[in-house]
Structures are given as structure tokens and as C-alpha cells.
Amino acid sequence: MSTYRRLSVVGMLLVLFLGGLAGCSRRSDAGSINAAAAKIANFSLPAGYSPEATAEIGGYLFVSYAPGDGHSHIQFIQAPADATVDRATLEKYIQQASQNRDYDPNTRSQVVGSFQATIRGQSVTLVISEATNSAHQPYRSVTGVFQGKGGTALLSVESPVNSWNQGAVDQFIASIS
């Protein structure tokens, strides 16, 4: 499969995953979610977060955790080990998809910063963005791409700005191994 086609598949998967996992087999039991996450990376969740969902489509693995507020999420998506992916494009896909969970054509995303972190022994650029959802609620997200246990992985942490806790996000990111 060509790189372009793989990227199109990734974009489609992100829309499906982040838009409610329509049309795929979704599992929401904690055991399945934690087992799937263990295929991507080891980590310690921030206080209050618990397993939300997992799915696998065409070898792409999705895992989501949430604190139960209906707005905040930690998500991982891992491509198959044999997938040829362009990290810059994948970062763009997850940034767009995660910030447009509640899609509004007038919503604008703005990069407000970036920082370097070490994830699984790799230096990773994490991008901090802000956007407003369709309910006019300001959101913040951190996104980045790293090499997971089974392939290139994407990380997205998102939360309303009024409940954003950078210290907790930093601690979570530092725990990913």
C-alpha cells in the first residue's frame, strides 16, 4: 500500500475513532482497553482517568482513557509495524481530529506552543494547541508522535482549558515508557 493511501487510511481512522468509533468493533471493558494499551506503551494515568474504549481496524490500534467529565481524553493510536507513515502528517491529522471532536466549520485551532519530551527513550516534539468546540468551550490539547511497541504511535491529551493541568500532563508524559 502506498504511503499516500496509508495516510488516507490513518486520517479516516482518526475521524472514526475520535468521532465515536462508528462502523467498527469497539470494546469498552477495562481489561481489553488496558491489554490494548500495553501493546503501545507502558504509562501511569493521571488521577481520575479510567479506561474508555479500544478498537482495532486494519491493524491500527486505538485506546482512549477519560476522567468521566465527558470532555477530557487521553488517546493513543498505533499504526501497524509495517506501515510507512510520515510523522509530520500524522501529527497534523491527530491535532485536527482531536480538536474537532465536536465539529464546527467555524472552529479554529491555534498552536500556542511546543516542547520536547522523552517518550520511550525518544526525543519527541509535543505541540500544544487551543481551539473552541461547537459549544464555544475553549479546549487545549497536546499531541505528538513516537515509536510505540508495535509501530508509529500518536498521542493526544485534550481537556477544556478551565480544567487543564499542565503538571499532571507533564507527569503523565514522563511516565510513558
Q: What is the pTM of this model?
A: 0.78
Lowest mean pLDDT across 16-20, 45-49, 130-134, 172-176: 16-20
pLDDT at 136: 81
pLDDT for residue 37: 97
> Residue 50 is part of which domain span?
3-175
128-132 CB contacts, 8 Å cutoff, 24+ apart: 129/95, 129/99, 130/161, 131/99, 131/100, 131/107, 132/104, 132/107, 132/108
Nearest to 6 by CA among 100, 81, 63, 62: 81
Once rounded to an integer, what is the mean pLDDT over residues 40-54? Answer: 96
CATH number of the domain that residue 87 is part of: 3.40.1000.10
> What average pLDDT does the structure give for the chain?
79
- Number of folded domains that form the chain: 1
pLDDT tens sequence across 7-31: 333 444 454 444 444 445 678 889 9
Lowest mean pLDDT segment, chosen from 7-11, 24-28, 54-58, 93-97: 7-11
In this model, does residue 148 exceed pLDDT 90? yes
pLDDT at residue 62 tops 50: yes
Which of 132 and 4 is assigned the larger pLDDT? Answer: 132
